[in-house]
Amino acid sequence: MCGVRFMAETVKMLSPEKRVFLSNKDAGCPMADQLDVELLQSLKEHNPDHTVVAYINTTAELKTLCDVCVTSSSAVKIIKNIENDKILFVPDCNLGAWVEKQVPEKTFKFTHGGCPTHLRMSKRNVAKAKREHPDALLLVHPECLAEVSNEADYIGSTTGIMNFAKQSDHKEFIIGTENSVLQHLQYECPDKKFYPLSKDCVCHNMKLTTLNDVYQCVKNLAGEEITLDEEIRVKALNSINEMIRLGGN
Ligand code: SF4
């Protein structure tokens, strides 16, 4: 795995019989570590009638306390498919608030978490980018603050943003998500122009892994093999299996 730790843990949950390696052992997601198990346990005790929905960017340990995981592209569909109308959404309150708007028939409670990379973007960035690129559409990720999302022409997951830009007749876009997406878009759509909403929207954790790390890991000289306590793996896997079940057709 050349991403961050929670991704490697999820792979291990789903494939316990395989050896899974994180090529740079320091590559973590700050959001995944924001909420600890004791706090979520206490929130569950205070809200026993709520279904706990976790953004997939959470640790394996935290997933053991969650009923279902979601990704940014599946969250709305999955939450609509949950029978219970009371949702405790963790840890990203911005993603949660965006889902809430699209599922008004349910009531939500949130914790105050979020992606530090996306939280760097503000409405001042929006005003500046629109001033500099008046013909561009603004496409943002739902991890952004509401003050940013409210100004957007499109809000969606990374895949959603990429598909929107590729299929649109528009020629210019301001991109409000991790800036490596711009490089992918520019490569795939050389006839269009892409501008970062903020030059600071760079996730240093996702950029930590180098080609040399991968080489060293493959040679068994570095990296970390992911191991999960079997009880934790099985309990955490429930939330992933629920995500797959509720996200199906
Ligand atoms: S951009 Fe970085 S900090 Fe934000 S959710 Fe992704 S991995 Fe975590």
Contacts 24+ apart (CB under 8 A), 186-195: 188/162, 189/165, 192/165, 193/136, 194/165, 195/129, 195/132, 195/133, 195/136
Q: How far apart are CA 198 and CA 212, in angstroms?
A: 29
For ligand 1, atom 6, name the residue with the nearest CA: 29
Per-position pLDDT tens, the chain of length 249: 999 999 999 999 999 999 999 999 999 999 999 999 999 999 999 999 999 999 999 999 999 999 999 999 999 999 999 999 999 999 999 999 999 999 999 999 999 999 999 999 999 999 999 999 999 999 999 999 999 999 999 999 999 999 999 999 999 999 999 999 999 999 999 999 999 999 999 999 999 999 999 999 999 999 999 999 999 999 999 999 999 999 985
The pTM score is 0.94
In the Cβ-directed half-sphere of 126, how many Cα atoms lie within 13 Å?
21
| Domains 5-115+208-247 and 118-196 agree in fold | yes
For ligand 1, atom 4, name the residue with the nearest CA: 115
Q: Which of 31, 144, 180 to mutate to test the pocket of ligand 1 (most atoms within 8 A of CB)?
A: 31
Fold of the CATH domain 118-196: Rossmann fold (3.40.50)
Is 206 a pocket residue for ligand 1 (Cβ < 6 Å)?
A: yes
The stretches of 115-157 forming alpha helices (DSSP H) are 123-132, 146-149
Q: What is the CATH number of domain 5-115+208-247?
A: 3.40.50.10800
Which sequence spans correspond to the domains of the chain? Answer: 5-115+208-247, 118-196
- First-to-last C-alpha distance (Å) of the chain: 29
Residue 153 CA to ligand 1 center (angstroms) comes to: 23
Residue 49 CA to ligand 1 center (angstroms) comes to: 30
For ligand 1, atom 5, name the residue with the nearest CA: 115
Residue 116 CA to ligand 1 center (angstroms) comes to: 7
